[in-house]
Amino acid sequence: MTDEPPLRRRAAASRTGNETQHPPSARPEPSDAGTEPTGGESVPLTAPREGTPEPVAVPEQLAEVVARFAAGTGPVALDAERASGYRYSQRAYLVQLRRGGAGTALIDPLPLPDLSALDAAIAEAEWVLHAASQDLACLAELGLRPRRLFDTELAARLAGFERVGLAALTEQLLGFSLEKHHSAADWSSRPLPESWLTYAALDVELLTDLRDALDAELARQGKSEWAAEEFAALVRTGARPPRVRAEPWRRTSGIHRVRGARAQARVRSLWYARDQIAARRDAAPGRVLPDAAIVAAAELDPKDEKTLLTLPGFGGRSVRRLARTWLAALDDARQLPDDALPVTPTVEGPPPPHRWAERDPAAAARLARCREVVLRVAGEHNLPPENLITPDTVRRVAWQPPEEITEATVAEVLRSFNAREWQIALLLPALAEALLA
């Protein structure tokens, strides 16, 4: 299969005027990173160049895809669709791939949960993903782990683009507009509508072209080595599952309104009751019981079903059917002895910055100087400050700097917080001076 000519011929036919046509890999580079497109109107991209493929759902079809992609050339564009707002798990419900000479494939991982054969077939290729950190964990569950990758979103951030979504970048750099109206769809539903499959296929249609454009822009700005370090770090750590929080119930939206340890115990009890049901059903917790309902019940502490069902969020049929479960959870919190109630958690690391001035004025001054350094250096190099160094790292270094402040000791501390070498090189010696002042 060929890749570029059919798409570009279709694009050229749809354009008006006499604008010069460029293949995606040869489109003019932006005059400055982060600027808006200066060319003509973008071309709506509504269909993959070889048509929308049917999802691969049986081993024989998968074997054909494996052979096809093993014989392909160049990078492999990948994407995965989850159902975060609908399901408890963060598993992939569709995997999309595209490679030169192989075309596009859509794989249904529900009947095909082991894609290790595909992983082996494309192991030596560079994998191209957009916002890779969102997909690497669910791809790893299927046996797909990159050895080399290029993250187009992260590349765009390093290059200083203000809008780094896939659709925005595709429009700015390649001249094509993508519809994103199925991004929040329930990808766990079956069968998947044709329009959804087209949307999914288009997500990888231009990823390699976008990679080439961004790679050229990074090279123009002298940032290729920075990107390489970032991508290598993603390969090492991106597939790790999220860290399990010690008290996840404390992230209940609106919990700041709940006063007192006993009321917080009610939030905790309801949260865990909901979580067990959500995990059993594989349903998003908010679809079992909204956070607002948990907070309302924790504040009022209803003792009977009639009172409970008058509260906001408890009116739905599925929620009403679980009324006894919610009442039991509230009763459990009511019966707790005082020494089993929630206590203010011990904060790991520095306190919130707004408390620094009263607790340690010298540290507050260090933090202000360090932030000034980060903002200045980030501006000089056309970088988002958070991509130059994480705000948490800045806070930790400012709160507890090394006993002897030298460039070497500051660099060592930054490495302990997983700062990359390019970040350290840019920030020293100004950060060391800010810590000493």
Does the domain made of 353-436 have the CATH classification 1.10.1060.10?
Answer: no
Provide the residue ranges of all domains of the chain, joining segments of one domain with +: 43-238, 248-340, 353-436
Note every long-range contact of 307-314, with CB atoms under 8 Å and residues 24 or more positions apart, other chains counting.
Answer: 313/289
Q: What is the CATH class of 43-238?
A: alpha beta
| Residuewise pLDDT in 10s, the chain (437 residues) | 334 433 333 333 333 333 333 334 333 333 333 334 445 688 999 999 999 999 999 999 999 999 999 999 999 999 999 999 999 999 999 999 999 999 999 999 999 999 999 999 999 999 999 999 999 999 999 999 999 999 999 999 999 999 999 999 999 999 999 987 777 899 999 999 999 999 999 999 999 999 999 999 999 999 999 999 999 999 999 888 878 888 999 999 999 999 999 999 999 999 999 999 999 999 999 999 999 999 999 999 999 999 999 999 998 999 999 999 999 999 999 999 999 999 988 777 899 899 999 999 999 999 999 999 999 999 999 999 999 999 999 999 999 999 999 999 999 999 999 999 999 999 999 999 999 97
HSE at residue 332, side-chain half, CA atoms within 13 A, is: 16
- The residues, any chain, with a CB within 8 Å of residue 384's CB and separated by 6 or more, are 157, 160, 378
Fold of 248-340: DNA polymerase; domain 1 (1.10.150)
Q: Using one digit for the tens of pLDDT, what is the confidence trace for 284-309? A: 999 999 999 999 999 999 999 999 99
pTM of the model: 0.87
CATH topology match: 248-340 vs 353-436: yes
For residues 361 and 410, the answer to whether their CB atoms sit within 8 Å is no
